[in-house]
């Protein structure tokens, strides 16, 4: 069965305090997004990579690829108005009738081979695989009466890559309200499919703040993850 990864990278640099979108910021010598693409390329033999970017970011990305001599094969696709539109644009480039597809945040560059392979393996068996990690912080919920503790037992933080059989995604994204979901698992579940949880990784952080970038750099320099 063919394997695909749709990498969605439509973020800005607002929370990073940077004029450069966060997916293009340098991490351990090269842009964040190059680490992300390379992780999938090395994790799954023969995988096809589809990178979804805002249309006006594509020329800058092409310039970066030229400057950094980045030759990992991938197809670049213009994004849409929402994350959902961007994912749907990426999915539209998959012609295979049967395939496994991972949807991944472009600013999660530290996804490791074991986690990526594990998600594809579970999706092959069950139809879906969503990586998650148990919460370690105490939780409180705020309402009109103040706040109260929330039992964290059985509560997980959801990550990407979220892997599905292509037909599940096609059915889910055929819904008229697909753009209202910020998470592919929620959309697939709303379309009637069961979600199966896979083991995530605490190193699989989503880079949204300067502190996240510092932590990712430290993890790579500490030798816990490969730069290449």
Pairing of strands 156-158, 128-134: antiparallel
Question: What are the DSSP E strand ranges found in the chain?
Answer: 2-8, 26-27, 30-31, 48-53, 75-78, 99-105, 128-134, 139-143, 146-150, 156-158, 162-165, 197-199
Q: Is 109 exposed, middle or buried (0-12, 13-18, 19+ CB in 10 A)?
A: buried
Q: Where does the pLDDT of residue 226 fall: very low under 50, low under 70, confident under 90, or very high at 90 and above? A: very low
Please tell me the total number of residues recorded for the chain in this structure: 228
Kindly report whether the peptide bond that precedes residue 161 is cis, defined as omega within 30 degrees of 0. Answer: yes
Which tens digit of pLDDT belongs to each residue from 2-24?
999 999 998 655 555 567 899 99
Domains of the chain: 2-221 (3.90.550.10)
User: pLDDT-derived band of residue 137, with 50, 70 and 90 as boundaries?
Assistant: confident
| 154 band by pLDDT with thresholds 50, 70 and 90 | confident
Q: Give the residue with greater pLDDT, 19 vs 196.
A: 196
Residue 18: per-residue pLDDT: 67
Which H or E run includes 181?
Answer: none
Q: What distance in Å separates the CA atoms of residue 6 and residue 50, rounded to the nearest whole number?
A: 5
pLDDT interval class at 131 (50, 70, 90): very high
* Side-chain half-sphere CA neighbours of 158 within 13 A: 15
Please state the rounded mean pLDDT for residues 181-201.
97
Q: What's the CA gap between 74 and 11, in Å, rounded? A: 19
- For the question of whether the overall pTM of this predicted structure is more than 0.85, the answer is yes
């Amino acid at each position: 069965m063919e394997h695909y990864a749709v990498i969605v990278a439509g973020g800005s640099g607002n929370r990073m305090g940077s004029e450069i979108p966060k997916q293009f910021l340098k991490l351990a010598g090269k842009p964040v997004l190059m680490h992300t693409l390379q992780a999938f390329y090395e994790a799954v033999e023969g995988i096809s990579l589809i990178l979804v970017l805002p249309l006006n970011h594509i020329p800058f990305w092409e310039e970066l690829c030229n400057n950094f001599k980045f030759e990992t094969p991938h197809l670049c696709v213009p994004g849409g108005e929402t994350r959902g539109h961007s994912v749907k644009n990426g999915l539209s480039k998959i012609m295979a009738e049967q395939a496994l597809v991972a949807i991944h945040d472009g600013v999660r560059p530290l996804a490791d081979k074991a986690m990526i392979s594990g998600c594809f393996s579970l999706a092959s068996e069950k139809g879906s695989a969503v990586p998650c990690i148990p919460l370690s912080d105490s939780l409180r919920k705020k309402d009109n009466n103040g706040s109260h503790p929330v039992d964290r037992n059985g509560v997980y933080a959801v990550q990407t890559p979220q892997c599905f059989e292509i037909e599940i995604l096609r059915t889910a994204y055929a819904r008229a309200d697909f753009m209202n979901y910020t998470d592919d698992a929620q959309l697939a579940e709303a379309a009637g499919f069961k979600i199966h949880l896979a083991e995530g990784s605490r190193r699989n952080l989503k880079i949204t703040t300067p502190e996240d970038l510092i932590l990712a750099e430290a993890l790579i320099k500490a030798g816990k993850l490969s730069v290449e």
